[in-house]
Amino acid sequence: MFSRADVPAISQPTIRICGLSKSYYSIEVLKDINLDVVPGEVVVIIGPSGAGKSTILSCVNHLEPYEQGEIWVDGQLYGPTHARGRRRARAEAELNQLRRKIGIVFQAYNLFPHLTVLENVTLAPIKVLKKPRADAVREGKEQLARVGLSQKADKYPAELSGGQQQRVAIARALAMQPKVMLFDEVTSALDPELVGEVLAVLKQLSNDGMTMMIVTHEMQFAREVADRIYFMDEGRIVESGTAQEIFDNPKQERTRAFLRRTRSL
């Protein structure tokens, strides 16, 4: 059984972000971001809306290009390469190979409405990983059991609650057997009574040793699940530390002000 204490103190990072900067036109939205995620670690990014939290995840999965810096995933440079002093964008086919190591779940569920739950989960393993259908179905059922939806395999997305649809999206990402999972505000579109069921799945993944980067506004959840927390504001990492350090003894006034405000809501 995996324990959070098993996370190695020193390990080659599953994700390494070095000097990442990104702009939209003249607006710099990420400013010299440096961040590591080691195997089995849960890193949670918090901060006000517009701080750049979700943009980091999009850059990690190369859904967004970036002007400066490097992103390494599982020891591979994951983004533009350098040749003769110039940055060279990777071909889309090459990026897709690298993306297989990363599972990402967004606010929107993005399930195919004409496919059953199980078909949604098995589509990518069959089409992308070229798995035999029988193997993909068996593993898909395992992932649905993992998120508590074994009984919904033959249902269609429209027959599920929002929380159930989000759990299907998580199972679909897990079916690709990624090295790391990225979660971008996965509860923000849910009714309050459905938030807990999705957060429970993320807590179980944490207990199972899944390497994760999570962007969330759920402060109590962040406190409970994070090995490290990064607080961002205006495109910069203002402060980082353990959950206890950030929530109980933040060093920066901007962090303290943010946490005071979230506690008053």
Phi–psi pair at 93, nearest 5 degrees: -65, -40
pLDDT at position 99 is 81
**What's the length of the chain?**
265
Where residue 85 falls among pLDDT bands split at 50, 70, 90? low
Query: What is each CA distance from 87 to 71, 84, 207, 222, in whole angstroms?
Result: 13, 9, 39, 36
pLDDT in tens, 96-105: 777 888 999 9
CA–CA gap between residue 41 and residue 27 (Å, rounded)? 32
Where residue 3 falls among pLDDT bands split at 50, 70, 90? very low
pLDDT at position 168 is 96
Tokens of 118: 């199980």
Long-range residue pairs from 235-240, CB within 8 A, at least 24 positions apart, any chain: 235/28, 235/29, 235/30, 235/31, 235/51, 235/52, 236/31, 236/32, 236/33, 236/52, 237/33, 237/34, 237/35, 238/47, 240/35
pLDDT at position 191 is 86
Neighbours of 8 (CB within 10 A): 10
Where residue 8 falls among pLDDT bands split at 50, 70, 90? very low
Mean pLDDT of 136-162: 96
Mean pLDDT of 220-242: 95
Neighbours of 197 (CB within 10 A): 18
For the chain, give the mean pLDDT.
89
Q: What is the pTM of this model?
A: 0.89
pLDDT at position 242 is 96
| Chain centroid offset of residue 22 CA | 19
Poorest-pLDDT segment among 49-63, 79-93, 121-135, 184-198: 79-93
Of 91 and 22, which is predicted with more confidence?
Answer: 22
- End-to-end Cα separation, the chain, in angstroms: 37
Phi–psi pair at 261, nearest 5 degrees: -65, -40
3-state secondary structure labels for all residues of 140-175: HHHHHHHCCCHHHCCCCHHHCCHHHHHHHHHHHHHC
Checking if the pLDDT of 90 tops 80, the result is no
pLDDT at position 25 is 86
pLDDT in tens, 22-56: 999 889 999 999 999 999 999 999 999 999 999 99
Q: What percent of the chain has pLDDT over 70?
A: 91
